[in-house]
């Protein structure tokens, strides 16, 4: 059973809390209890509160928030963390935003309460479809219009000269069968919820047909957008790939009128999207045009589906990297250590290759992690791009390159590592010779960086080579729909040694 869900910022300040029981502890009370048990509670995915309760954690990769869920010990930790990840994506789809900021949460606490009230029932998840939630929980404009309409109707009824509300007398109306005036304008059930940019027609969810799409939608701008993004996670040592994989997803932002049918053809090259490495939205799995045998065999190249309204994740896949995939896109990072006369210098070269589709690399940065036993300082000798920050308490050198690096450029960073005087004096020989002596092999290893973490992103190309070849819309309304696609590549955990 889910007892409570806490939405915190990265500093663990509670922004929103939803409880399924009458009496529930606050997050501060849980922190006091956890700090007495384990100092590393904040980094764990699950912490036991007592013999009956435990606290699960999910750090959002899309929003600057952390989700905590207080559950009973009988619940599965994996299923709860998966639910928190799904709720994180669900909130973005409902609010139609790329990121859920702190201000957005504070301004919509009322709607968040109604959303979680619809998602959870008796401590269990029941509704996780964004279109159903849009039909059940109206937007702020629709909710204000509903309250205004209801208020005006009651005011007009009370101001009627014949006193129709109390025409049988106050005592009789109090005990009559109809307690409230029967006005269709004041009825909540007669109010139809509208999506942003659409007309206020019947937006009820079609339970018999496609439950993931509301019926009767009519947009002024008939358009559909496909966002394809991939994240690189790999470890490269001396130019050779040790291990790695690519996490990709295909997101849909649909604003098509009526009941359209979308046919999307993918160029997968040698990759396969099967049930073993891919999760599909139910609109794809339940469409009769898509063969289940093709799904099992990984031959899904043409997807046919009735698109959900608004933002939706169509599929999410994982592609393993083999050793021949040493070239991870157009970025190459080379680390050389033990340079200079005393072998205390190291150099990092970043080469951005040429591309016919990619114009520039955005937000590139390097985190150089020194040896864990290194005690000293790191000085910059040469830097061709951006700025450098050193944090020796954590043993890190942060290299922030230019915000936008043009393809075909090369950046160089050369540094010298200096040990503390105590460690350096222990390595000095008793000889008074003027010849510079290199340090011992033990100290040389201390002066070498352990690894480099690389962060960047660019558009217009995916590292796997997957592309959207064509997209056709059937029954897209009288107006010709506008279709667009965007490719985004970013790094997750990309490590060079």
- Read off the pLDDT of residues 197-238 as tens digits, 9 standing for 90 and up: 443 334 444 444 677 887 778 888 889 999 999 999 999 988
Average pLDDT for the chain:
81
Q: What does the pLDDT look like over 370-416, one tens digit per residue? A: 988 888 899 999 999 999 999 888 889 999 999 999 999 999 999 99
CA distance 463 to 329: 5
Nearest one of 12, 116, 112 to 67, comparing CA atoms = 12
Q: What is the pLDDT of residue 424?
A: 57
Prediction pTM value: 0.72
Is it the case that residue 453 has pLDDT exceeding 90?
yes
Is it the case that residue 471 has pLDDT exceeding 60?
yes
What are the tokens at 78?
A: 């994996």
Q: 190: pLDDT confidence band, cut at 50, 70 and 90?
A: very low
Architecture of domain 331-423+439-459: Sandwich (2.60)
Tallying the residues shown for the chain, one arrives at 497
Nearest one of 110, 108, 82 to 96, comparing CA atoms = 108
Nearest one of 266, 342, 262, 351 to 307, comparing CA atoms = 262
Pick the CATH number of 2-128 from 3.30.230.10, 3.40.50.2300, 3.30.450.60, 3.30.420.60: 3.30.450.60
CA distance 409 to 452: 20
CA distance 414 to 419: 17
Contact (Cβ atoms closer than 8 angstroms) between residue 164 and residue 181: yes
β-pairing, 310-320 vs 46-48, is unpaired
Where in the sequence of the chain do the CATH 3.30.450.60 domains occur? 2-128
At 77, phi and psi to the nearest 5? -65, -40
Q: What is the pLDDT of residue 182?
A: 39
The runs of H, that is alpha helices, within 328-440 are 421-426
What are the tokens at 364?
A: 């590139």
Three-point CA angle 62, 486, 400, nearest 5°: 55
Three-point CA angle 5, 93, 232, nearest 5°: 90
- Show Cβ contacts of residue 90 under 8 Å, excluding neighbours closer than 6 positions: 119, 128, 130, 133
Three-point CA angle 9, 80, 283, nearest 5°: 100
Q: What is the pLDDT of residue 144?
A: 65
β-pairing, 223-237 vs 240-255, is antiparallel
Is it the case that residue 274 has pLDDT exceeding 70?
yes
Q: What does the pLDDT look like over 297-331, one tens digit per residue? A: 777 788 889 998 888 889 999 998 876 665 578 89
> Average pLDDT for residues 343-357, to the nearest whole number?
91
Share of the chain above pLDDT 90, in %: 37
What is the residue-wise DSSP string for 98-148? Answer: S---HHHHHHTHHHHHHHHHHHEETTEE----HHHHHHHS--HHHHHHHHH
Q: What does the pLDDT look like over 34-84, one tens digit per residue? A: 888 887 888 888 988 888 999 999 999 888 999 999 999 998 999 999 999
Is it the case that residue 435 has pLDDT exceeding 80?
no
Contact (Cβ atoms closer than 8 angstroms) between residue 495 and residue 449: no
> Average pLDDT for residues 167-192, to the nearest whole number?
37
> Average pLDDT for residues 95-109, to the nearest whole number?
88
Give the 3-state secondary structure of residue 269: coil
Where in the sequence of the chain do the CATH 2.60.40.1170 domains occur? 331-423+439-459
Nearest one of 288, 313, 320, 316 to 303, comparing CA atoms = 288
Q: What is the pLDDT of residue 360?
A: 93
Is it the case that residue 455 has pLDDT exceeding 50?
yes
Give the 3-state secondary structure of residue 219: strand
Round the CA-based radius of gyration of the chain to a whole number and report it. 30
Contact (Cβ atoms closer than 8 angstroms) between residue 412 and residue 349: yes
- Helices 109-119 and 77-95 cross at an angle (nearest 10°) of 130
């Amino acid at each position: 059973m889910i007892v409570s869900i806490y939405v915190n910022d990265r500093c663990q300040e509670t922004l929103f809390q939803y409880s399924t029981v009458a009496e529930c502890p606050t997050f501060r009370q849980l922190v006091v209890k956890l700090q007495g048990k384990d100092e590393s509670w904040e980094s764990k995915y699950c912490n036991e509160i007592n013999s009956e309760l435990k606290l699960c954690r999910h750090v959002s990769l899309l929003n600057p928030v952390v989700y905590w869920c207080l559950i009973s010990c009988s619940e599965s930790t994996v299923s709860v963390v998966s639910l928190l990840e799904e709720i994180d994506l669900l909130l973005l789809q409902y609010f139609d935003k790329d990121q859920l900021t702190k201000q957005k949460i504070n301004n919509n606490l009322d709607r968040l309460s109604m959303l979680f009230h619809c998602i959870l029932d008796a401590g269990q998840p029941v509704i996780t479809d964004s279109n159903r939630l849009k039909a059940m929980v109206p937007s702020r404009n629709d909710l204000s219009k509903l309250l205004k309409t209801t208020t005006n109707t009651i005011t007009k009824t009370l101001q009627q000269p014949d006193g129709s509300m109390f025409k049988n007398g106050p005592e009789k109306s109090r005990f009559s069968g109809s307690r409230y005036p029967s006005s269709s304008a004041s009825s909540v059930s007669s109010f139809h919820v509208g999506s942003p940019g659409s007309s206020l027609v019947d937006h009820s969810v079609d339970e018999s047909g496609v439950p993931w799409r509301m019926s009767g939608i009519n947009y002024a701008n008939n358009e559909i957008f496909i966002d394809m993004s991939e994240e690189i996670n790999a470890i490269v040592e001396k130019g050779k790939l040790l291990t790695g994989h690519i996490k990709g997803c295909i997101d849909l932002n649909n604003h098509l009128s009526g009941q359209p049918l979308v046919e999307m053809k993918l160029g997968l090259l040698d990759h396969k999207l099967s049930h073993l490495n891919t999760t599909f939205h139910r609109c794809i799995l339940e469409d009769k045009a898509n063969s289940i045998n093709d799904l099992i065999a990984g031959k899904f190249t043409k997807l046919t589906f009735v698109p959900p309204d608004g933002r939706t994740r169509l599929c999410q896949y994982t592609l393993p990297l083999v050793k021949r995939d040493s070239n991870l896109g157009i970025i190459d990072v080379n680390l050389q250590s033990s340079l200079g006369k005393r072998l205390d210098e190291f150099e990092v070269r970043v080469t951005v290759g040429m591309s016919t589709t990619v114009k520039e690399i955005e937000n590139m940065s390097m985190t150089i992690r020194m040896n864990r036993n290194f005690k000293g300082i790191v000085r910059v000798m040469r830097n061709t791009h951006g700025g450098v920050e050193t944090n020796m308490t954590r043993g890190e050198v942060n290299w922030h390159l230019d915000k936008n690096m043009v393809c075909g450029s090369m950046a160089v960073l050369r540094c010298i590592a200096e040990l503390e005087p105590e460690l350096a004096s222990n390595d000095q020989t008793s000889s008074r010779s003027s010849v510079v002596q290199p340090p011992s092999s033990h100290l040389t290893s201390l002066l070498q960086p352990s690894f480099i973490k690389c962060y960047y992103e660019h558009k217009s190309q995916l590292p796997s080579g997957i592309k959207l070849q064509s997209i056709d819309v059937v029954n897209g309304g009288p107006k010709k729909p506008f279709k667009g696609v965007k490719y985004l590549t970013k790094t997750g955990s990309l490590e060079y040694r």
